[in-house]
Amino acid sequence: MTLPDLPILCYHRVVPEAPADSKINIHVTCETLDRHLSQLRRRGMVPITFGDLTSDAPLSGRPVILTFDDGYRDNHQYLLPLLEKHDARAVIFALGDRALETNEWDSGCGETPVPLMSDAEIRECHASGRIEIGSHGLTHRSLLGMSAGDLEHELVASKSELEDLIGAPVTAFAYPYGYWGKRERDAVERAGYLYGITTDAGTPLSRDRYSAGRRIVFPDTGRFGFFKKTSRWYPRYRRLLGRT
């Protein structure tokens, strides 16, 4: 199957107001995301999911995939209503360890703990038909440096736990921190995923679905910056700047 080279965007938190004490700044405000979704619609861009790529139904408009890492509770609170408002869809990469309640992996840099979605909230997101649930590993550990056994467990167990939770296949995996290599890429394929998603250093989706790159949206990504990141020429622009 030939896959299209469509923009895949990477978000994290969605918040009513920018947090004053954040060290890592991986959020957008509700107002900003509302504007992004409006801009996409004006430009004829249609937010879809990875599941849509494997469907027999033809893609309409200019497809784009909006992804949200980690599974923060604010995704359920604020992202889901915005998707309903704009008749849009998105992908949330959640963690398979359902005992994990906050983003404790960020504690080392002094980040204030933020709640993750509960089981019920993830199920509600899935049941809405607006959100595809993907895997972000068990506990947000980097796959690099894991033993072969731990790597297999991380990929297979996180997939199984999330599938049991939502009662549906989980086919997309986002590498924690965007870290991957050939060993990790091949392990994702062996674990039964259809897609392996990384960050800026990835490849076009049509070239390799297991190292697909994303365009990260930051709090300071302005209107023109968002236009660039969602444009067809953006990968070529980055190559000209030597950023790939």
Q: What is the pTM of this model?
A: 0.95
Token representation of residue 59: 């893609």
Q: Could you give the angle at which helices 148-166 and 119-127 cross, rounded to 10 degrees?
A: 70
Q: What is the pLDDT of residue 1?
A: 59
| Residues 197/172, Cβ–Cβ less than 8 Å | yes
Kindly tell me the number of DSSP H helices and DSSP E strands found in the chain.
Answer: 9, 10
Query: In CATH terms, is domain 8-240 a member of 3.20.20.370?
Result: yes
DSSP per-residue string spanning 77-107: IIIHHHHHHHT--EEEEE-S-TT--B-GGGG
Residue pair 179/144 in contact by the 8 Å Cβ criterion: yes
Contacts (Cβ under 8 Å, ≥6 apart) of 231: 7, 237
What would the pLDDT profile of 186-242 be if each residue is shown by its tens digit?
Answer: 999 999 999 999 998 788 898 999 999 999 999 999 999 999 999 987 777 666 776
Q: What are 82-111's pLDDT values in tens digits?
A: 999 999 999 999 999 999 999 999 988 888
Give the residue-averaged pLDDT of 150-178: 98
Q: How far apart are CA 81 and CA 90, in angstroms?
A: 12
Amino acid at 52: D
Which pLDDT score is estimated for 243? 62
Residue 244 has what pLDDT? 56
pLDDT tens figures, 63-87: 999 999 999 999 999 999 999 999 9
How far apart are alpha carbons 178 and 202 in whole angstroms? 9
Domain boundaries, the chain: 8-240
